[in-house]
Chains A and B, each alone.
Chain A
Amino acid sequence: MSVTENIPTRQIDRSQMKVSDEIAIEITGMNKWFGTFHVLRDINLTVQRGERIVVCGPSGSGKSTLIRCINRLEEHQKGTIMVDGTELSSDLKNIDKIRSEVGMCFQHFNLFPHLTILENCTLAPIWVRKTPKKEAEETAMKFLEKVKIPEQANKYPGQLSGGQQQRVAIARSLCMKPRIMLFDEPTSALDPEMIKEVLDTMIELAEEGMTMICVTHEMGFAQAVANRVIFMDQGQIVEQNEPKEFFNNPKSERTKLFLSQILGH
């Protein structure tokens, strides 16, 4: 893999990609254990609205766990996480509120196989947001057009390719009109030619000013879109910098080693 791979061919429009002063996510002194294993250690991270953050690091470094903590798919044991000014605690009301504001895409898409593409997209707006069915369907079609698969609306997930499924998963999250999007290795389970179509969708999203946190190994995407790259190892944030500096001039030895391994060949 090289830095140049999967860089979009077209010009990226950065006019909307503005980082505002408003704080979207604030994590302070967060620690998490799996049993006795200390998986996240003293994480401090502030995300402004409009930031595009790429989190990278070797496997087992805790990067997926970190973003899964942000919408409470994993529970943290110490420290605080504030999302849009709401603190994540064991209060179920807060958790449901945050989850409906934070969209998430998974490595294995996690579409609902017993529902059509359209039903996948309208389910949460109808049941969580109480949107009327017709309105929810119109919104869903709008987002399916945005990810360029409106013609698949009445098929089932099993009939679509991996790339198409991941784009549906993005559309499904967008239907909830989230203010923040989390991506957990969205392209890791895809064939090379499908990676590009998913990245293009993500770039479009970034161009519209969405706040995004992506766990990914697509360094081309990081260079083209991110305004900050975070490198994690052994449950800690080892280095963070803007992409150009991060790739060209890494400071820590661990980062240098990691970059040489993934970019070296």
Chain B
Amino acid sequence: MSDTDSEVISFFVREKMLEEQEPPLTERGAVKWLRENLFSSWLNGLLTIVSLYVIWYILSGIVPWLWSPTWSLGSLSECREVLTGLGETTHQACWGVIRDRWQQLLFGFYPSDAYWRPTLALVILLAGLAPVLFGSIPRWFLLFSAATPFVLFLLLWGGPIWTPLLVGVGLVLGVVAFRYLVGVNQIVAVLAAIIVPVLFWLFLVEPIAFELTYTAPIGLEFIPSKDFGGFMLSVVIGVAAIILSLPLGIMLALGRASDLFIVTKLSVIFIEIIRGVPLIVWLFTASLLLNYFLPPGTSFDLTLRVIIMVTLFSAAYIAEVVRGGLAAVPKGQYEGADSLGLSYWQSMQLIVLPQALKISIPGIVNTFIGLFKDTTLVVFIGLLDPLGLTSAIRASTDWNGIYWELYVFIGVLFFIACYGMGRYSLWLETKLQRENR
């Protein structure tokens, strides 16, 4: 180092190391958060204050209405009496109606000594869905899932055990026929897998079930669909339609994307007609018009008709969502699968659909949430869904004139179910995202 440098750079040695210090008050904890998120500028500060006022205004209206000590009261007039006695206005909820009638809102006119059946059915349904929804559960559990629909049918409707059992046997026969013939010819195997169970159901189930019931009358008390009601009815229709419409929708989407002219056109016509007409029209068709087409004397369960209509309706929507997913799978994936010698069904099942469905998850779940809420439309064709039951409850002298409490309760039930579906969809997306990166 030269002399001139030492004149410029003054000599320095640190004698004492500095301790770590806390940041100034404005840079930590709540103060920093407030400054960054709520008051980052004058305009934002002003907007924050206005928003807080609006939120307070709304809550100050709702919370006192919700916070109402009326849980134990037995009629609307009692509520009014108590609330006036407390010196409050009548703008308060009367929760006694929920305590008094929650069973009716959940189960409709289902016999009260059989409430355990739909409750157990719900538990079995959730257990049966678990292996399908969450991949981490052992695969053999899927067999249990496959048996679930028959157990649920038996629990909900009752009757002799043999009919659902024989319907299940029909499906097994179809699978066996497919397995046996698939080596010979694929098309023959598929046809056999459809025709064998259908023939079995049409001609053999009834006489065999009759004989078996005669010799061994095992079963549960039969409960007709007209006694079904409340949130249970919504769940029955919703879940059945969701489970049935997914495979049907996928088949329609594949049909629409197919190279076969007639298959494509039929799929398009089906989708456009179903989608182009309001659901309520289809429900009226199910309840009124179908009777004209069926042979006189046949009674075809109304709930079943509604399930079929809702299934077809949502299948058309699912088909369009899945079609979007199919279109988003690059052409190279189809070619990659083809070049390895995979058949059409193999390449769809193993390559194209897993990717297409992953892309379609948000749309599919969105359709399902819409479908589940649309089940309340059945009130218009005389089924007692939760909304229909509110009128039934109002018809009693005790609760004449009560509206909001019932609707809030029903709304919360639907919100829990729909929010759950939404969260599941998010979870599945992140899981698949992480797996494939």
A residues neighboring B (CB under 8 Å): 71-73, 92, 96-97, 99-100, 102-104, 106, 108, 110-114, 123-124, 127-128, 156, 158-159, 172-173, 176
A159 to B343, CA, bound (A): 28
Stretch at the interface among B76-84, B220-228, B350-358: B350-358
Q: Quick one: given A113-B355, A159-B437, are A106 and B335 in contact (CB under 8 Å)?
A: yes
Nearest CB of chain B from residue A100's CB, rounded to whole Å? 3
Q: Is the CB of A114 within 8 A of B341?
A: no
Which residues of A lie under 8 Å from residue B113 when comparing CB positions? none
Q: Is the CB of B341 within 8 A of A110?
A: no
Nearest CB of chain A from residue B411's CB, rounded to whole Å? 38
Q: Is the CB of A108 within 8 A of B332?
A: yes
A172 to B358, CA, bound (A): 24
Which residues of B lie under 8 Å from residue A124 when comparing CB positions? 340-342
Q: Does B89 contact A (CB under 8 A)?
A: no
Q: Which of A99, A112, A158 contacts B341 (CB 8 A)?
A: A99
Sample of 13 further A-B pairs with CB below 8 A, known A71-B339, A99-B338, A99-B339: A72-B338, A73-B335, A73-B338, A106-B336, A108-B332, A110-B335, A110-B336, A110-B339, A112-B337, A114-B435, A124-B340, A127-B342, A128-B341
Which residues of A lie under 8 Å from residue B72 when comparing CB positions? none
Q: Does B346 contact A (CB under 8 A)?
A: yes
Which residues of A lie under 8 Å from residue B354 when comparing CB positions? 114
Q: Is chain B's interface secondary structure helix, strand, loop, or mixed overall?
A: helix
Nearest CB of chain A from residue B190's CB, rounded to whole Å? 14
Q: Which of B330, B343, B437 contacts A96 (CB 8 A)?
A: B343
Q: Is the CB of A128 within 8 A of B335?
A: no
A73 to B331, CA, bound (A): 11
Which residues of A lie under 8 Å from residue B338 when comparing CB positions? 71-73, 99
Residue of B336, B341, B435, B437 most packed against chain A (CB within 10 A): B341
B residues neighboring A (CB under 8 Å): 330, 332-333, 335-343, 346, 350-351, 354-355, 358, 432, 435-437
Which residues of B lie under 8 Å from residue A123 when comparing CB positions? 340, 342, 350
Q: Is the CB of B436 within 8 A of A127?
A: no
Residue of chain B at shortest CB distance from A72: B338
Q: Quick one: given A96-B341, A110-B335, are A127 and B355 in contact (CB under 8 Å)?
A: no
Q: Is the CB of A111 within 8 A of B336?
A: yes
Q: Quick one: given A106-B332, A108-B332, are A114 and B436 in contact (CB under 8 Å)?
A: yes
A124 to B342, CA, bound (A): 7
5 pairs, CB–CB < 8 Å, chain A vs chain B: A106-B332, A112-B336, A112-B351, A123-B340, A127-B342
Residue of chain A at shortest CB distance from B344: A92
A172 to B354, CA, bound (A): 19
Q: 6 nearest interchain CB pairs?
A: A100-B341, A110-B336, A124-B340, A99-B341, A110-B332, A104-B339
Nearest CB of chain A from residue B5's CB, rounded to whole Å? 47
A106 to B338, CA, bound (A): 12
Nearest CB of chain A from residue B281's CB, rounded to whole Å? 40
A92 to B185, CA, bound (A): 12
Nearest CB of chain B from residue A6's CB, rounded to whole Å? 25
Q: Is the CB of B332 within 8 A of A127?
A: no
Which residues of A lie under 8 Å from residue B437 when comparing CB positions? 156, 158-159
Q: Quick one: given A114-B436, A156-B437, A159-B437, are A128 and B340 in contact (CB under 8 Å)?
A: yes
Residue of A71, A72, A100, A127 most packed against chain B (CB within 10 A): A127
Which residues of A lie under 8 Å from residue B435 when comparing CB positions? 114, 156
